[in-house]
Chain A
Amino acid sequence: MTLEHSLYGPLSDPAGNAGHQDHPPRVGFFTDTSVCIGCKACEVACKEWNAVPEDGLNLLGMSFDNTGMLGADSWRHVAFIEQQRPLGHQDPGLSELPTGPSVAEAAAEVVADALRQTERGGGDLGTAPVDLGFPSFQLPGAATGAETRTQFRWLMASDVCKHCTHAGCLDVCPTGALFRTEFGSVVVQQDICNGCGYCVSGCPYGVIDRRHDDGRAWKCTLCYDRLRGDLEPACAKACPTESIQFGPLDELRERAAQRLDYLHEAGVPEARLYGHDPDDGVGGDGAFFLLLDEPEVYGLPPDPVVPTRDLPSMWKHAGMAAAVLVGASLSAFLGRRRR
């Protein structure tokens, strides 16, 4: 373990790096989205156990995702992606139906435009209700009828805080409220947080946010209290399909690799792992995923990098700029003595 890997790069033992001695193995989540059925039991269990407040009973007007995104009041978020996905070389004979293709994309356009007009561009989803301004009595897509259904698939994925090996939120927290637990997870101490909001911008995944009526930052704790009581986190406990798997990270990575091989052999070539690689920009995630499409389709950044990677370069440039300022000030007085 080298010093540089405290900020960036592969780091085998983040808890030890943070000063924990004789700590338990690093634990995390492996979320296998290929078996997610979109039941949202994880969202509910998380809210129940952690007493996360209600964040508005939104109907976002597209898909079955009415949570929006992770935020201060949504620590699990099930994404629903309705995709047009024709079968390989076959023509299923559905494309000629008179009513045309799925309306998912059109609906998404409308909602995305409305979201952009809201104050924080939709960033409030997951924290508070967002008024998109369209009263409607119809279910999304319901008016088009079953006969219009064409070639599409559903992707569902339960998103969560990644508990990064190199956590941007943790690095920038100026109060020490965010800390690395003995389990390798990243947790906010609510009695310390003063709501500076730096972690919100420090997170390359857009996970943590400040709660409006409270002023402090909140996010998934990996159920720190349950872990200390030898219980698994509430979401994993509630997941009926084992889509959310909890355990020691090494074990989960092994299991994920096996699952990936299995899916590839079973004819699901688009299956891929996300966040499992200790060599990636955040040193690997404590919560990683098996996805069936590009990460950005699920609202995940394709190649996140912890901002701290460039910290030495930033301070170097700031130092040069400070030196130039000193030089300019000196020459302002020494340059011409006549005035």
Chain B
Amino acid sequence: MTADPGPRQDGPPQDGQRRDGRRRGRRGDDGSREQLAVPRVKFESYYGRPVLKPPVWEWKIPAYLFTGGLSAGSALLAAGADLTGRPALRRATRLGGFAGLLASTYLLVTDLGRPERFHHMLRVAKPSSPMSVGTWILLAYGPGSALAATAELMPPQLRATLPGRLLQAAARPAGLSAAFFAPGLASYTAVLLSQTAVPAWHGAHRELPFVFTGSAAASGGGVGMLFAPVSEAGPARRLAVAGAAAELAVSRLVDRRPGLVTEAFTTGRAHQLRRRAEYLTLGGAVAAATVARRSRLAAVAAGLALLGGSALQRFGTFEAGVASTKDPKYVVQPQRARLAARGQ
């Protein structure tokens, strides 16, 4: 038995089959007055068990991230289409945006453990809780989106009536109010994920807002290309291309962040989903910039690809977070490195 004063080498090559979460040699660096005579025990986790709880959220939350972003992107396009006289694009995006909002509401309420208590969210306005902030953003956004969409759905024979005329008059302010809150709706969801102890989400808190708003713009543009004629869908294509470019570039930045936690994004199911998201988004964006300007069919295909890419991006990001809670290495190793950097 020999004294072993330095960081202990654990024989890395033959260690290949061990989970890397289990062994690590560092000692005497924690403020304890421990002598360095005893070999390190091999645990660095409690029987390899997770330190954190995996999120209790299931598919409905990443699905909401997608539908919420879609709704926000569509609302922005709808307001622009309204102001620049593109009625078909306006109709498509107002309706698409409202559909996204309805889906979002459904997903959010049913994901609760006690859905009948959803209105308890309205008891407080709490700046430290992104979910509370998001609730109020949704609440501010919703009426505008709903009113503008209702105006689009009004049967022609009602347009001459007084309520019909009032609704027509209210449609533009309503759409503009939705567009005003849409950027908040598109971006707060990134804070929602990052404001957690989940290592992958928290670690990417600088990048995620850009991934999510990019994804929202791409999906909103996708809605416009899907349902509006090619002649009016120019802004939808341009927004889709810009959003897709941002989403692709920043999600690559996420893949290259230094540190172990990046592995949660670049391995496993999260990696597969995000890679597919990239292909779809890239394909959709390229088509949007080229063939979709001429062919309605190509525009529909590009729109679908962008929607798919946006959805998979959200699911991939979500999965990365879940994976990072299940393996204790994502919690222990970065925190250990942090302590070592502080000299503790």
Interface residues of A (CB under 8 A from B): 7, 62-63, 68-69, 71, 79, 81, 83-86, 88-89, 91, 105, 108-109, 111-113, 115-116, 120-123, 125, 168, 171-177, 192-198, 200-211, 214-217, 264, 269-272, 293-294, 296-304, 307-308, 310-311, 313-315, 317-326, 328-333, 335-336, 338-339
Is B37 at the interface (CB under 8 A from chain A)? yes
Is B152 at the interface (CB under 8 A from chain A)? no
A270 touches B49 (CB 8 A): no
Q: Given A194-B121, A297-B43, A310-B202, does the pair A109, B195 have CB atoms closer than 8 Å?
A: no
Q: 11 A–B contact pairs at CB < 8 A?
A: A174-B135, A194-B113, A196-B121, A205-B52, A206-B53, A215-B112, A270-B32, A304-B197, A317-B210, A318-B187, A321-B187
Chain A residues near B205 (CB-CB < 8 A): 310, 313-314, 317
Q: Given A198-B129, A318-B187, does the pair A311, B121 have CB atoms closer than 8 Å?
A: no
A210 touches B56 (CB 8 A): yes
A333 touches B48 (CB 8 A): no
Contact with A along B105-122 (1 / 0, CB 8 A): 000000111110110110
B56 touches A109 (CB 8 A): no
Chain B residues near A209 (CB-CB < 8 A): 53, 56
Chain A residues near B236 (CB-CB < 8 A): 332
Is B39 at the interface (CB under 8 A from chain A)? yes
A325 touches B186 (CB 8 A): yes
A105 touches B42 (CB 8 A): yes
B197 touches A332 (CB 8 A): no
Q: Given A175-B120, A176-B124, does the pair A195, B113 have CB atoms closer than 8 Å?
A: yes
Bound Cα distance A81, B118 (Å): 42
A313 touches B129 (CB 8 A): no
Residue of A nearest to B57 (CB): A197
Residue of B nearest to A215 (CB): B113
Chain B nearest CB, measured from A105 CB (Å): 6
Chain B residues near A111 (CB-CB < 8 A): 47-48
Residue of B nearest to A270 (CB): B34
B338 touches A303 (CB 8 A): yes
Contact of A302 among B47, B50, B182, B336 (CB under 8 A): B336
Contact of A329 among B1, B80, B126, B231 (CB under 8 A): B80
Chain A residues near B190 (CB-CB < 8 A): 314, 317-318, 321
Q: Given A176-B123, A201-B55, A311-B128, does the pair A108, B47 have CB atoms closer than 8 Å?
A: yes
A88 touches B186 (CB 8 A): no
Chain A nearest CB, measured from B70 CB (Å): 13
Contact of A91 among B1, B30, B45, B207 (CB under 8 A): B1
Starting from the known contacts A120-B54, A325-B243, 20 additional A-B residue pairs (CB-CB under 8 Å) come to A83-B43, A89-B3, A108-B43, A121-B327, A168-B197, A174-B135, A175-B117, A175-B121, A192-B117, A195-B117, A204-B52, A264-B33, A296-B46, A299-B328, A301-B51, A308-B195, A324-B213, A325-B186, A328-B242, A331-B242
Is B194 at the interface (CB under 8 A from chain A)? yes
Chain B residues near A85 (CB-CB < 8 A): 38, 41
Is B283 at the interface (CB under 8 A from chain A)? no
